Structure 1
Amino acid sequence: MTTQPADTDTPPERRATQVPFDAAGQRFDQVLAALYPEFSRSRLAAWIKSGDARLDGKTVRPREAVRGGESVELDVRLGIATDSAPESIALDLLYEDADVFVVNKPVGLVVHPGAGNPAGTLVNALLHRDPQLVALPRAGIVHRLDKDTSGALIVARTLQAHTALVEQLAARTIHRQYEAIVYGRLISGGTVDAPLDRHPVDRLRRAVVDTGKPAVTHYRVRERYRAHTAVECQLETGRTHQIRVHMAHARHPLVGDSLYGGSLRLPKGATPALAEALRGFKRQALHAERIVFAHPRTGDTVEAQAPRPADLAALIATLRQDAAEE
């Protein structure tokens, strides 16, 4: 469970600066955002409203025009952004520095606590690894992966890094690449540009809905098997269940995806080994294999590659062997 940042008994950090003279005529909230880019606009707006951000010692409206040269005081109150407890859960880190983690999330690990999963999540593991993450929204997690999707996931370790990474995510400049195994032999790749929203009947699912949020998935063929295809998927947007819904919409659902792929389909003449492998693969065949982003402090390119998990590697090996025996 996550909550909004709340004030604590810890004294705020007092910061002071001056409005640049060339900012004359601009709104106070605009100037404040330029002076303190490490904080989100929504957080700064809340501090203006509460009086924690002041102009010449006074509480003013966000739209107050500045003259230039005024003093600015900011009482930084980060508080507690999550009430989840730290838990000693092993983490596989693909990248780590003082600003960011890139975690290789295993299959079966829930990202955020919620109904049915109050503990034992990635948030709990992160709080054990770095207790300072308690002051960040969602313990620094800026995007998510489904419980049964494996692979690379970015976590900010500072508020400045979190703000910068959320902005990159909104600007669609974080490159996310996935590997998936789908039903059917695709002839070529393509793009699914179809808006997504909650399913009109089943609230656990997402669906292509005309009034939904824009969603774009690009895919290309990597390897064809007798009745399946390995594809590489790249996201322009990051909607919930996006690849799963889009590939099902393209009539090539993911292997093992009971929510969007329907019942198990065995190809005609499947070898016993392949039949056993498909029956035993109980999750969507989807892996977040590569992520590329600008470092939130330095701007340098960070690239992290998550190795293919053992269950997916075994499935691909069996599909190859089955194709060879055709």
Structure 2
Amino acid sequence: MSSESPVSIQIPPELAGQRLDQALAQILPEYSRSRLKGWIEAGRVMLDGRLPRPRDAVSGGEAVELRPLLEPVHHDRPQAIELDVRYEDAAIVVLNKPAGLVVHPAAGNPEGTLLNALLHRAPELAALPRAGIVHRLDKQTSGLMVVAKTPAAHRHLVAALAEHAVGREYLALVQGELIAGGTVDAPIGRHPRDRKRMAVVLGGKHAVSHYRVEERFVGHTLLRVHLETGRTHQIRVHMAHIRHAIVGDPAYGGRLRLPPAAGEALTAQLRGFGRQALHAARLTLEHPVSGEVLSWAADIPDDMHALLDAFRAHRQARSDD
């Protein structure tokens, strides 16, 4: 293990009253709370020039100096999994994740993930938290992601995400006919009864999604959604909250809804579409080294394209009647 460059931050006033390790975990989400606690106990954190304890309460405004340790990822092995890379240099890699690929290893998916693929492509990523992954897409959501390749790029991207300075646009096919765009500003937290799901809950984390109508169909609408924040399942939860759940969403979509007079082709497409119709279509960010604003776009995958074509054919057939 080796030391990473020191990190200097200030405790925001809104975190007053929290434990130091808890506050740091919110400010520095790239590090787990247990790892931060260990660094505090090891004397690698200074709070206003003194050595604190993990349980010390913060009052807001304190200066924090953190000396992180680069720790290789020992338990995840590199795997030769093909990746659709759209851009790569010494600092970052941008890729188009297919639906079905899990981002991080977990209990149900210990291997065969994006993280395993990244470790095979660039073994040096083992020294970065989560192999440089700074944000995620759900298993069945396709589209663009950025991964850091150096500690400095990792810090830059994590800070940019926290400051809402990374532009992320999604295409989402939702139930119901919307006539105009809008904004969903509703806090998201764990579902009170089902801990595997998220929900709009009082006291949840601040979450904002902006959407506009991209294309209208009979009984359904294709939306372009811009994320202002990045909470778990945010678009899926917000769309379900306004009663326009994403088509095919197994957790938040409810029962299958066929549009009026749906023919065999559209019915077959809807019944056979085995995931949420959600795609991360555009990613915009400031390059962590050059400062240049870069943007990438990824076309929707074939399965979602076929579904939209079936909706277009159905719309045309209805207009011809």
Bin the TM-score by the shorter chain: 0.7 to 0.9
| Counterpart check, 1:63 vs 2:55 | no
TM-score (norm 1): 0.80
Q: Superposition pairs for residues 22-101 of structure 1, below 5 Å?
A: 50=42, 62-64=47-49, 77-81=69-73, 83-101=75-93
- What amino acid does structure 2 have at the position aligned with 1:230? L
Q: Superposition pairs for residues 121-200 of structure 1, below 5 Å?
A: 121-200=113-192
Q: Distance in 2 between matches of 1:44 and 1:245?
A: 30
Instruction: Show the counterpart of 1:68.
Output: none
Deviation at 1:83, TM superposition (A): 2.4
Q: Superposition pairs for residues 148-297 of structure 1, below 5 Å?
A: 148-297=140-289
Larger Rg: 1
Instruction: Show the counterpart of 1:104.
Output: 96
Q: Distance in 2 between matches of 1:177 and 1:246?
A: 15
Instruction: Show the counterpart of 1:120.
Output: 112
* SS at structure 2 position matched to 1:230: strand
Report if aligned partners of 2:4, 2:69 keep a CA contact under 8 Å in 1: no
Q: Distance in 1 between matches of 2:212 and 2:4?
A: 52
Q: Distance in 2 between matches of 1:45 and 1:248?
A: 37
Deviation at 1:307, TM superposition (A): 1.8
- What amino acid does structure 2 have at the position aligned with 1:238? G
Q: Distance in 2 between matches of 1:243 and 1:183?
A: 13
Report if aligned partners of 1:48, 1:62 keep a CA contact under 8 Å in 2: no
* SS at structure 1 position matched to 2:119: helix
* Percent identity of paired positions between Structure 1 and Structure 2: 54
- What amino acid does structure 1 have at the position aligned with 2:308? I
Report if aligned partners of 2:236, 2:246 keep a CA contact under 8 Å in 1: yes
- What amino acid does structure 1 have at the position aligned with 2:49? E
- What amino acid does structure 2 have at the position aligned with 1:208? V
Report if aligned partners of 2:4, 2:151 keep a CA contact under 8 Å in 1: no
Q: Distance in 1 between matches of 2:316 and 2:109?
A: 43
Report if aligned partners of 1:91, 1:104 keep a CA contact under 8 Å in 2: yes
- What amino acid does structure 2 have at the position aligned with 1:63? D
**Superposition RMSD in Å:** 2.5
- What amino acid does structure 1 have at the position aligned with 2:75? D
Report if aligned partners of 2:283, 2:295 keep a CA contact under 8 Å in 1: yes
Deviation at 1:77, TM superposition (A): 4.5
Instruction: Show the counterpart of 1:22.
Output: none
TM-score (norm 2): 0.81
User: Which 10-residue stretch deviates more, 304-313 or 107-116?
Assistant: 304-313
Deviation at 1:271, TM superposition (A): 1.3
Report if aligned partners of 1:196, 1:212 keep a CA contact under 8 Å in 2: yes
Q: Which runs of 5+ in 2 are unaligned?
A: 7-29, 51-65
Deviation at 1:223, TM superposition (A): 0.7
* SS at structure 2 position matched to 1:240: coil
Q: Which runs of 5+ in 1 are unaligned?
A: 1-6, 17-38, 54-60, 66-73
- What amino acid does structure 1 have at the position aligned with 2:202? D
Instruction: Show the counterpart of 1:310.
Output: 302
1:210-245 deviation digits (Å, cap 9, x = unpaired): 110010000000110111111000000000110011
Deviation at 1:79, TM superposition (A): 2.8
CA distance change for structure 1 residues 77 and 319 in 2, over 3 Å: closer, same or farther? Answer: same
Report if aligned partners of 1:89, 1:125 keep a CA contact under 8 Å in 2: yes
Q: Distance in 1 between matches of 2:40 and 2:289?
A: 25
Deviation at 1:63, TM superposition (A): 2.7
Q: Distance in 1 between matches of 2:132 and 2:71?
A: 14
CA distance change for structure 1 residues 307 and 14 in 2, over 3 Å: closer, same or farther? Answer: closer
Q: Distance in 1 between matches of 2:36 and 2:90?
A: 24
> May I ask how many residue pairs the two structures share in their alignment?
278
Q: Distance in 2 between matches of 1:291 and 1:198?
A: 27
